[in-house]
Amino acid sequence: MALEIRDIHKHFGPVRASDGVTFVVEDGSLHGILGENGAGKSTLMKILSGFYEADSGEVDLDGEVLDLRSPADAIAAGVGMLHQDPLVFLPFTVLDNFVLGSPGPERLDRSHARSELESVSGELGFRFDPERLVRDLTVGERQQLEITRLMWLGARVMIFDEPTTGISATQRVQLFSTLRSLAEDGLIVLFVSHKLEEVEELCDSVTVIRQGKVVFEASMPVPSEVLVEKMFGKVFVEKDRESAPFGAPVLELSRVTIEEGTTRVEELDLSCAAGEVIGLAGLGGSGQRTLLRVCAGLLNPGSGRLSVDGNVLNKASYRDHLAAGVHYLPAGRLEEGLVEGISIAEHLVLTSDDTGFFVDWNSADEAAQREIDDYSIKGRPSSPAEALSGGNQQRLLLAMIPDDVRLLLLEHPTRGLDVGSAAYMWQRLLERRGDGTAIVFASADLDELLRYSDRIVVFFAGDVFAIRSTAETDGEELGYLIGGKERP
């Protein structure tokens, strides 16, 4: 069995997302798909999985040209895709999500479906409670459920789009083990990622896409600098991190107790000074997200004192926090940060200081174009948020940050970003630090935490397990601390 992609073209207005893409992947392969944000990787994968129709070109699987007009056509042909954000219905149970979209009689035989779920998940090494609500699963567990469902539906080609985003290190190890098993069983696994180290660790071959074209194909291993040069047309040289003097405390937490769902952190003492960057580390659900949401005013602390620039905000609203100079960038760009269906210009109007009743749309478009140019956003003032790539959505969120922000809270700020976009984002963030902004961010990337933080707060099982200066720790120690242990 081989997957042949022949001369695929897909245009969105003047944008050539796929411009004659051609390559072949053999069965049993773990094949990496690399490219910067907006290179056309996701568009191509959506064509393969039936979400988009190609303008021209062919997809051939096992000698048969596929007619891919919908995701149902794709899965019927044996092509399944696991999206960066798993396509699950949160209010439904595991069993309900498992059977959604499956062919069969109109009346569901739940007993048979339960048996199939247990059988397929058991073969993959996963365990589920069929009656558990999917909203209570971690991102990694939702991925496992999607993999189980796609395998049950007969997928022979499995596409994974940025699958390590938002999952823990332990879940990443289990995911990679699963992908290797799928390839050993003769499936074709396409692994789309921005993370070179993951492609180097996992894949046996790679295709690099730039500006909608295939610019490089090779068997692994390939030196990292070669892959970077092929992705971006240049090699990035990381600058040494410049230190900045700290000012007076901006954020102050004194004996604060915070709670959200099953996560509870008690009597937390923490401060963040002007110009300081604090990183939050820990397994998912350990308290980092809850702390950010409390500091942003989306949750109120149960007890203790929370203040920004000396102003007590214990029972203050989200709007009060905004007025105090607090700004929050959530991990869910479209779910929490942006609004589907409205344009770049409309987003910037919503966050502007203009309080007039009418909008001068000509001026708004001109202002939006200046922000597009300033933040290198690949889009136009009229482009809807959902049409932007992940990196460009993040750049739009950067453009929406007020100039006078005092406390900037970020949840996985480089999630799904290529190395170039991640470096650019931190360049802009550190410019704000130089202006006296205090920054607190949560990340699952240890290198990012060590590179950009002044101090790292490690959460474990709802408690602050340790606080370390980055000058006095390393990735090995952080790994132990995240697991709830001191380094031997």
Residue 70's domain is classified under what CATH number?
Answer: 3.40.50.300
pLDDT per residue of the chain (488 residues) written in tens, 0 to 9: 799 999 999 988 777 888 899 999 998 999 999 887 778 888 899 999 998 999 999 999 988 999 989 988 998 999 999 887 777 888 899 998 898 877 766 677 788 889 989 998 888 888 889 999 988 887 778 888 988 898 888 889 999 888 876 666 677 788 888 889 999 989 999 998 877 888 889 999 999 998 889 999 999 998 888 888 888 776 655 556 666 789 999 999 999 888 877 677 888 899 999 999 999 988 777 888 889 999 999 988 888 899 999 999 988 999 999 999 999 998 877 778 888 889 999 999 988 877 677 888 899 999 999 999 988 888 889 999 888 877 788 889 988 988 889 999 999 888 767 777 788 888 888 888 888 899 999 988 888 898 899 999 998 877 888 899 998 888 888 878 887 778 77
> Are residues 447 and 397 located together in one domain of the fold?
yes
Cα distance between the two ends of the chain: 49
**Three-class SS state of 256:** strand
Q: Is residue 214 part of a domain?
A: yes
Residue given tokens 């149902």 in the structure block:
72
Smallest Cα–Cα separation from 168: which of 283, 281, 280, 82? 283
> Are residues 214 and 96 located together in one domain of the fold?
yes
> Are residues 427 and 303 located together in one domain of the fold?
yes
> Are residues 131 and 96 located together in one domain of the fold?
yes
Q: What's residue 109's pLDDT? A: 79
Contact yes or no for 475/446 (Cβ under 8 A) = yes
| Count of structural domains, the chain | 2
> Are residues 331 and 457 located together in one domain of the fold?
yes
> Are residues 222 and 280 located together in one domain of the fold?
no
Q: What's residue 57's pLDDT? A: 92
Q: Is residue 367 part of a domain?
A: yes
Residue given tokens 């539906």 in the structure block:
153
> Are residues 309 and 215 located together in one domain of the fold?
no
> Are residues 169 and 264 located together in one domain of the fold?
no
CA distance 366 to 81: 39
> Are residues 259 and 181 located together in one domain of the fold?
no
Q: Is residue 363 part of a domain?
A: yes
Smallest Cα–Cα separation from 59: which of 14, 8, 107? 8
User: Which of 232, 264, 282 lies at the terminal end of a domain, its last residue?
Assistant: 232
User: Which of 232, 262, 285 lies at the terminal end of a domain, its last residue?
Assistant: 232
> Are residues 155 and 8 located together in one domain of the fold?
yes
Q: What's residue 193's pLDDT? A: 82
DSSP result, 350-409? HTSS---SS--HHHHHHHHHHHHHHTT-SS-TT-BGGGS-HHHHHHHHHHTS-TT-SEEE
> Are residues 38 and 89 located together in one domain of the fold?
yes
The residue range of the domain holding 205 is 2-232
Q: What's residue 104's pLDDT? A: 66
